[in-house]
Structure 1
């Protein structure tokens, strides 16, 4: 054989040999390998085949509709993770703009014992007046931990941490500062109990809403008298009703006033557009009930009246919803200026908050302090009252469990299968009628909550968790979650985006008898596509993660 032909033939053989060696290496320790192109079959030696519940398969991967599709892998001894190291590797495609929660990628979690693991993309709104997490990756494990709340300080001189939002890797707080000569501020958390003041966008006494839209941080300003919270009336009467965009270096760009209103009580990015609600209250010339959409520059367009003052937004399964104070407690946006009333929960005067839990809408209400499941127009199922509380405000799904903040004692409760567990009183201010836990966000793997009238922010960690505070870019991304020697790591396209090893609790035993769910979990059905899901009972190395990431769809 001619020498040049021998060399030519050896090149593809060398490439194939190198690829085969790399593939063999990243096959070691596999307890499940689901290509997700034709079916839910497991190609590993474990034979953990999945049962398909409506998922559509294609050569590029499995397509999940975000409504009720998922793959169920029955429990097996080989899926027991115990206290061992393990890794999850998967290609995921998410779309933009967002019209859904995005949801759970993989979960194997027993909510009764609070044992197992959760891997999801967070896209949270409705807690209460902020879009708290926007396309943020989360990985958590737990085994019956009993978390404790930790004081994270008081941003400025505020009397209410009105909004908490994670943006571009940092946690931001919007505040109510009602004193003479004061105004609402935005602060950035600087670790521990430290907060950096980013200034006052406006002269009004509150920054009442925060949210991310198209890679920018927006803030809504409000006038709040304090009367509705039994606080002294604020001497600052300057009207709010304006929205601002953060331009860095404490600079805020005025994006205009939304109608003739005094408050901006909600912001949400939906379908590539930014929407704002208003909920004018005591001390305002009128109680305007309206929703607006940003048209660029300083222009806002009126997009309807939902039948009462609007509270929190919610995005779910392609629709935009809003909670309402008035005769219509919950409503869905129908386009242009039309809203469809969806009914009022029993014994409810005001609906404050909304969250997606196990694929269904849940609503926080006043005056019975009850959370309801919304099961369709005029169908509300009680999930029970939170202790003896009267009002449910911020709610968040965190590491497989639903948490809710309350009034009048300023507590946070955890939903534990037909009952609510008191996790602690966050605001212990003496000699006041009302205390609130109004805001929540997940940041650096922990659940943060803001209070009134103490104005302090607290955090807690259930089990061990990590999260990425930067929005996951749309399109195909290779995601990896790793537990290694007790530490947790998150990778996006082979780059480590979150790493934590400073855990106080012992390494949790994750064994449970629940099925492994692909595309579903305690938050929501996944909306997007997946392929090449692998689970290992060992920690993948950086080079192995890079090898898997190089095998692009």
Structure 2
């Protein structure tokens, strides 16, 4: 049964949106919502209509105007609600709630991360993040070690509570490996799927870790040719204890380039040969056409479609089923489009050779939102605690997007002398921090903007109860009444969270929320473990 407003658990309540037929505030604080296209009579957990709000993932959200009750200052706070997400996804799940000023980097973010098209990997998939910020850098870029003997951290993803990377290890007798991060500068070797020199792509599909191998031509990064001539182009599934199961070869491929999940199917592209392919579940890969009659470079999922970026004149194309692709425009005179990111509901791509990022405006139109310093190529891009970050070549720099055409340098993470190119190629959000991998040092680096806590396991589909709590020096995340993640310590006085920005339910820095919500509460105090469990059991 639903809980009323007469129990001690409702002390400090500043917002209570049942989201059952309306978006009114039942806390007594009059923080009523303004509906922007949300269906307010959706079915609840028992299938009865009128018990939840359905967000379409395209343009719907609820805006709650600012009020003094939202001036959190440095106080404790809590957010709790039920959400429903689908198992088969054709879109980013998006933001649960935000009250964030992007210009000042001040406020709170609560989101479900889904980062496909992070160059060659699907780096985050159904991972929760609760973050606060007040324009702070808690940790500058810090060296997290060199996995194995790699020169290139060519792939990165978060799987089963850990950060995983793929490497290029190009010398005679070497091969590409997958490694799991153990903390500090330590890495655990999970083995080589095959004898080729690179693990170029990794992603999570149906709860398992998959890796795509490649014979990477190191001359493409202006390095000496690799003496390892063993071919890749295959995809493998990890079985534990350094064991990998062969899931087949992409047709005619010597190098797998990227992997992504769309509508519960695993898709892949090759590096040096054209075509998009979908796995048949055994060892076969079915042909899905050749977008733009060019080689493809990255895969992304957004607004109901699978998207691909191209090499040469291909630009960006949208999958229409079968072998059909719809051309969605080029990014000025750029010849390569390396990466995707979904930021504030829009699609962004990174390019070569002018080192600019472009935002999709619909049809075949793209808006140039700026060049990153004097760089030539934009590779990995990801959303982290309310902001968009991007890695570059030739200096392996990482920039933060501050709106309009403004990009701020956060650091250079590879300063190898006497080389032509340095890459900040791969990225993922893990353990509340942003991680990035490099070439040619083959090292992983991390930084922390503000303070975040992440749930680094896949959020199950269906109805789930979530709670995010800020108490004293820690942030906490709960799933179905149980504590699942706790942040590292911070100084509460460093985080003044008051902002006159509106509270947005179902929208934020990542994307419009795709799914259902009900029983959203905000407290201006910290809920205890017992209170979170009681809210879970009581609904």
TM-score scaled by structure 1?
0.94
User: What corresponds to 1:294 in structure 2?
Assistant: 279
Distance 1:345 1:99 in 2: 24
The alpha-carbon deviation at position 23 of structure 1 amounts to 5.3
Distance 2:481 2:240 in 1: 29
Question: Structure 2 vs 1, CA of residues 304 and 112 (structure 1 numbering), >3 Å: closer, same or farther?
Answer: same
Query: 1:242-261 to 2 correspondence within 5 Å?
Result: 242-261=234-253
One of 527, 534, 550 as aligned partner of 2:521: 534
Distance 1:101 1:410 in 2: 28
Query: 1:93-492 to 2 correspondence within 5 Å?
Result: 93-146=84-137, 147-280=139-272, 288-307=273-292, 308-418=294-404, 419-492=406-479
User: What corresponds to 1:44 in structure 2?
Assistant: 27
Distance 1:441 1:330 in 2: 23
SS state of the match for residue 266, structure 2?
strand
One of 507, 516, 519 as aligned partner of 1:520: 507
| Structure 1 range deviating more: 386-395 or 337-346 | 337-346
The alpha-carbon deviation at position 551 of structure 1 amounts to 2.5
Distance 1:253 1:199 in 2: 12
SS state of the match for residue 463, structure 1?
strand
The alpha-carbon deviation at position 486 of structure 1 amounts to 2.0
Deviations 1:163-207 (CA, angstroms, capped at 9, x unpaired): 110011111000011111111000000111000011100111000
Question: Structure 2 vs 1, CA of residues 433 and 492 (structure 1 numbering), >3 Å: closer, same or farther?
Answer: same
SS state of the match for residue 291, structure 2?
coil
The alpha-carbon deviation at position 506 of structure 1 amounts to 5.0
The alpha-carbon deviation at position 396 of structure 1 amounts to 0.4
SS state of the match for residue 424, structure 1?
strand
Deviations 1:75-123 (CA, angstroms, capped at 9, x unpaired): 1111111100000001100111111110000000000000000001011
Distance 1:501 1:289 in 2: 45
SS state of the match for residue 456, structure 2?
coil
User: What corresponds to 1:4 in structure 2?
Assistant: none
The alpha-carbon deviation at position 289 of structure 1 amounts to 0.7
Distance 1:247 1:23 in 2: 51
User: What corresponds to 1:33 in structure 2?
Assistant: 16
User: What corresponds to 2:480 in structure 1?
Assistant: 493
The alpha-carbon deviation at position 263 of structure 1 amounts to 1.2
Deviations 1:422-454 (CA, angstroms, capped at 9, x unpaired): 000000111101000000000011100000001
Distance 2:523 2:64 in 1: 15
Give the paired residue count: 528
One of 43, 47, 53 as aligned partner of 1:62: 53
Query: 1:75-94 to 2 correspondence within 5 Å?
Result: 75-94=66-85
Distance 1:376 1:234 in 2: 42
SS state of the match for residue 543, structure 1?
helix
Question: Which ranges of structure 2 fall in alignment gaps of 5 or more residues?
Answer: 42-49
Whether the aligned pair in 2 keeps the contact of 1:463 and 1:505 (CA below 8 Å) is no
Distance 2:287 2:429 in 1: 32
The alpha-carbon deviation at position 45 of structure 1 amounts to 1.9
Whether the aligned pair in 2 keeps the contact of 1:42 and 1:48 (CA below 8 Å) is yes
In angstroms, what is the RMSD of aligned CA positions? Answer: 1.3
Whether the aligned pair in 1 keeps the contact of 2:74 and 2:492 (CA below 8 Å) is no
Whether the aligned pair in 2 keeps the contact of 1:328 and 1:342 (CA below 8 Å) is no
Question: Which ranges of structure 1 fall in alignment gaps of 5 or more residues?
Answer: 1-14, 281-287
Distance 1:202 1:53 in 2: 51
SS state of the match for residue 546, structure 1?
helix
SS state of the match for residue 7, structure 2?
helix
Whether the aligned pair in 2 keeps the contact of 1:85 and 1:486 (CA below 8 Å) is no
SS state of the match for residue 183, structure 2?
coil
SS state of the match for residue 136, structure 2?
coil
Larger radius of gyration: 1
Distance 1:177 1:434 in 2: 17
SS state of the match for residue 145, structure 1?
strand
Whether the aligned pair in 2 keeps the contact of 1:225 and 1:234 (CA below 8 Å) is yes
